Amino acid sequence: MLHRQGEKEAAITAYCQSLVINPTSVAALYEQAQLEEAIAAYQKAINLDSSNANAYFNLAIASEKQGQIEPAIATYRQALQPC
């Protein structure tokens, strides 16, 4: 809703906050192929909680879909790191 109202930053913040609670909440962005927005949301979620393995994993998948293979591999490795 916020994104449609032109409040992109507020929308990303809201997605990030919901991602901390439920890591699959950004799935709608991802499934709609809005990968840049999904990537931004996953990165903000990681900044809020650097131990969120699901956010790292989903960031890696989105990066891979964008053809960013090396960053995706590095992010997959981070997802597998113990907290």
pLDDT tens profile 29-56: 666 567 888 888 889 889 988 888 888 9
> Domain span at residue 70?
8-80
Instruction: Find the distance separating the first CA and the last CA of the chain, reported in whole Å.
Output: 34
Unique residue bearing structure tokens 């998948």: 61
Q: Is residue 2 part of a domain?
A: no
Structural domains of the chain, count: 1
**CATH code for the domain in which residue 55 is found:** 1.25.40.10
Q: Is residue 56 part of a domain?
A: yes
Q: Is residue 13 part of a domain?
A: yes
Element (H, E) at 13: helix 8-21
Q: Is residue 27 part of a domain?
A: yes
Furthest CA-CA distance within the chain: 40
SS3 50: coil
pLDDT recorded at residue 69? 93
pTM above 0.85, yes or no: no
pLDDT tens-place string over residues 6-27: 666 766 666 666 666 665 556 6
pLDDT recorded at residue 65? 86
Query: What's the gap between Cα 29 and its chain centre?
Result: 9
Q: Is residue 38 part of a domain?
A: yes
